[in-house]
Chain A
Amino acid sequence: MSVRSQVLVCGGTGCTSSGSIKLIDEFENRIKEHGLENEVEIVKTGCFGLCALGPVVIVYPEGAFYSMVKVEDVAEIVEEHLLKGRIVQRLLYEESVHEGSDEIKSLNEVDFYKKQHRVALRNCGVINPEKIEEYIGRDGYRALNKALKEMTPQEIIDEIKNSGLRGRGGGGFPTGLKWQFAANSVDDQKYVCCNADEGDPGAFMDRSVLEGDPHAVIEAMTIAGYAIGSNQGYIYIRAEYPIAVQRLQIAINQAREYGLLGKNIFESGFDFDLEIRLGAGAFVCGEETALMTSIEGKRGEPRPRPPFPAVKGLFGKPTLLNNVETYANIPRIILEGADTFASIGTEKSKGTKVFALGGKIHNTGLVEVPMGTTLREIIEDIGGGIPNGKKFKAAQTGGPSGGCIPAELIDTPIDYDSLTAIGSMMGSGGLIVMDEDNCMVDIAKFFLEFTVDESCGKCTPCRIGTKRLLEILNKITDGNGTMEDLERLESLAEAIKAGSLCGLGQTAPNPVLSTLKYFRHEYEAHIVDKTCPAHVCKGVAKYEIDADKCKGCGLCAKQCPVGAISGEVKSPFSIDADKCIKCGACMDKCPFKAISK
């Protein structure tokens, strides 16, 4: 069937949450109504990346990029654009149109996409992830064919080694070496696992790959199985990602039907199959030994290494474990060769990295950039800067294991080593932007609350140490901190890093240490001046009434639950700081905005 127009509707979690599935129904109805069903095809794709403007619809061949489309807009798009060929200007994403004319730019010219380089995300937002034919149409499973027919397992491993690919889950361990270790282990049974337990808050790279291009991961895991000598794989994925789980299951079923999973793949005599295992909401299960313990059906607690998983992993057998994004790069490396891949990026960090841009930034969404791109390029050029005219204060990478990068280091190139050198880390790819309204002590506290909650409790430094760190932070934000507390934070943090069993505890103090390093003055403001410079921490807030703005209506005094506000009607009121419990009720009620904190 040849169609004259294609309507691509984003079916990623972001756009689905803002109603894209209803759009698809409406498009189907309207298109039928006008008898266009043989001329226009509707494609539900994975994430386009520009989640901030969702739901996103792209109509080809024109490439019209419609953003924030509502169900009510669909009739107009169908009647005007699809029926009469007149693009609906008012719905176009303004960046996608040439200034001063109505001409549409190609996506590569739009600021958001211009500096991106899509390798892992190459099919996301392009194909329908629920149709294996579309993946195959984009060179899908050709890498597997090449690997099985033309390459020996060792040649595959050498190719991965030469590509310089490093683990995209955060640690950055050379992927080829990992494969070599697993291949070198001798046993009657080995396993290939995929870590899709993306637990970092604010990170959704792996989810988007699985939602937008699940076959890439299946293909890569099958190649890995052949390379290390394994015929069984497990994908461990968060139960919080229902759409990804569903698409992955559809993809596995289709791959089995096509003989791309199962017995005798491509008549090569090689067997491989995959199973999905759902996580159940435990952050620590992103750690490799904990993840395998969880697949075994137990409490997901980590265990000491060595033995490493490549020697003794899942069910006591040699196991290869990589992250989703790492796998998504594999088919390209096999197909295009290690050199092509290694030509992207920096000397020690090859290829690209996907980031989930979030927080105080215009273009929240998913971006993939060559390693070595600076933070400034990501935030200003791709991300479109900070909204509401606010000032950039810091970017947080690496989630609860990472640190904050202050504004003065905005020109830092993003690669494994540069980030580690400034006290943060690559992490899995969450990149949260903060402006002057965010308190850095509060952010450190936020991450500590997370790790205290998620510490599995097996080892003491992490279980008790993180709790004590949090208590000191609470003391500071409540206005009861002393300067000695800062030293205590530092020495405790070092002890936790040195003494914890797994990566969770070893990195848990990083948010505290990095904010102490770059934003020590904010800690000191809480301790010495008893104020929160960003006006976030309630414990040190001081509520005051501006006598010039106050009209003396007395509403605030009526609202105050502890009778801390007094005054004469029609003359300025005042707050008794000793009685005030800093609830903020007066501020919410004041009709003249005369109360500040």
Chain B
Amino acid sequence: MAIPFKGTKEQEAKLMEVIAAHKDEKGATIPVLHEAQEIYGYLPIEVQTMIAEGLDVPLAEIYGIVTFYTQFSLNPKGQYPIGVCLGTACYVKGSGDILEKIKEILGIDVGECTDDGKFSLDATRCIGACGLAPVMTIGEHVYGRLTVDEVEDILKKY
């Protein structure tokens, strides 16, 4: 399902500034994509086209880079993006079960967003908070030493 692109003039002006600042730098593409994703929250084809034209790089190459790296997203994230860490330390302590529970409660799969746009779900790589395993993040907030039973109450807070 494609969500119509709703970029604003302000966002576009910001993106143009970013492109101008990096244009002559060696290997500028990835830094520009990072900043573009900061501005728009994701990298739809409209944004990729602007970057391709701005940096004078073929769109196919930009698209190739965006789809290669998992940090770059073609779809918008939910208002509260959820990340469940599936790093080894979290996995051996049962983060797989936590992920299943969230899928069950929200009725969405990894990489998807709830219909109301509230939550999106990702299975993340190790975030390095292994001392707190198993860990999930909602936005910037980190929930550590989780049990499956706590998940529902945490989600209700949002």
Which residues of A are at the interface with B, using a C-beta cutoff of 8 A?
Answer: 13-14, 16-18, 50-52, 54, 198-204, 207, 239-241, 277-283, 294-300, 315, 356, 358-360, 364-365, 396, 399, 430, 432, 434, 438, 443, 446-447, 456
Q: Is the CB of A200 within 8 A of B126?
A: yes
Q: Is the CB of B26 within 8 A of A202?
A: no
Q: Which parts of B52-86 form the interface with A (CB within 8 Å)?
A: 61, 64-65, 68-72, 86
Q: Besides the contacts A18-B144, A278-B30, A283-B125, what 8 more A-B pairs have beta carbons closer than 8 Å?
A: A14-B129, A201-B87, A239-B71, A277-B31, A299-B68, A359-B89, A359-B92, A432-B88
Closest CB-CB distance, A462 to chain B, in whole Å?
15
Q: Closest residue of chain A to B89, judged by CB? A: A358
Which residues of B are at the interface with A, using a C-beta cutoff of 8 A?
Answer: 26-31, 33-34, 61, 64-65, 68-72, 86-89, 91-93, 124-133, 135, 142, 144
- Candidate in B28, B64, B131, B144 with the most chain A CB atoms within 10 angstroms: B131
Q: Is the CB of A297 within 8 A of B30?
A: yes
Complex CA distance for A431 and B64, rounded to whole angstroms: 34
Q: Is the CB of A359 within 8 A of B128?
A: no
Complex CA distance for A279 and B68, rounded to whole angstroms: 12
Closest CB-CB distance, A294 to chain B, in whole Å?
7
Instruction: Give the contacting residue for A359; candidates B28, B29, B64, B88; CB below 8 A.
Output: B88
Closest CB-CB distance, B56 to chain A, in whole Å?
13
Q: Is the CB of B72 within 8 A of A280?
A: yes
Complex CA distance for A540 and B131, rounded to whole angstroms: 31
Complex CA distance for A18 and B129, rounded to whole angstroms: 9
Q: Is the CB of A201 within 8 A of B30?
A: no
Instruction: Give the contacting residue for A396; candidates B88, B130, B132; CB below 8 A.
Output: B88
Shortest Cβ-Cβ A-B pairs, 9 listed: A51-B131, A358-B89, A280-B69, A202-B88, A201-B87, A297-B27, A297-B29, A17-B142, A281-B70
Q: Is the CB of B88 within 8 A of A281?
A: no
Which residues of chain A come closer than 8 Å to B125, judged between CB atoms? 199, 201, 240, 281, 283
Closest CB-CB distance, A538 to chain B, in whole Å?
10
Q: Is the CB of A240 within 8 A of B130?
A: no
CB contact under 8 A between A300 and B88, given known A201-B126, A277-B30: no
Complex CA distance for A315 and B72, rounded to whole angstroms: 24
Complex CA distance for A198 and B133, rounded to whole angstroms: 18
Instruction: Give the contacting residue for B131; candidates A14, A277, A279; CB below 8 A.
Output: A14
Q: Is the CB of B70 within 8 A of A280?
A: yes
Q: Is the CB of A364 within 8 A of B133?
A: yes
Q: Is the CB of A52 within 8 A of B30?
A: no
Closest CB-CB distance, B23 to chain A, in whole Å?
12
Q: Is the CB of A364 within 8 A of B92?
A: no
Q: Is the CB of B88 within 8 A of A358?
A: yes
Q: Is the CB of B27 within 8 A of A295?
A: yes
Closest CB-CB distance, B9 to chain A, in whole Å?
27
Complex CA distance for A107 and B30, rounded to whole angstroms: 44
Which residues of chain A come closer than 8 Å to B89, judged between CB atoms? 201-202, 356, 358-359, 364, 432
Q: Is the CB of B128 within 8 A of A241?
A: yes
A-B contact pairs, 10 of them (CB 8 A): A14-B130, A202-B130, A204-B126, A204-B130, A282-B68, A299-B65, A315-B27, A359-B89, A359-B93, A438-B92
Complex CA distance for A40 and B71, rounded to whole angstroms: 42
Complex CA distance for A177 and B132, rounded to whole angstroms: 39
Q: Closest residue of chain A to B143, judged by CB? A: A17
Q: Is the CB of A364 within 8 A of B130?
A: yes
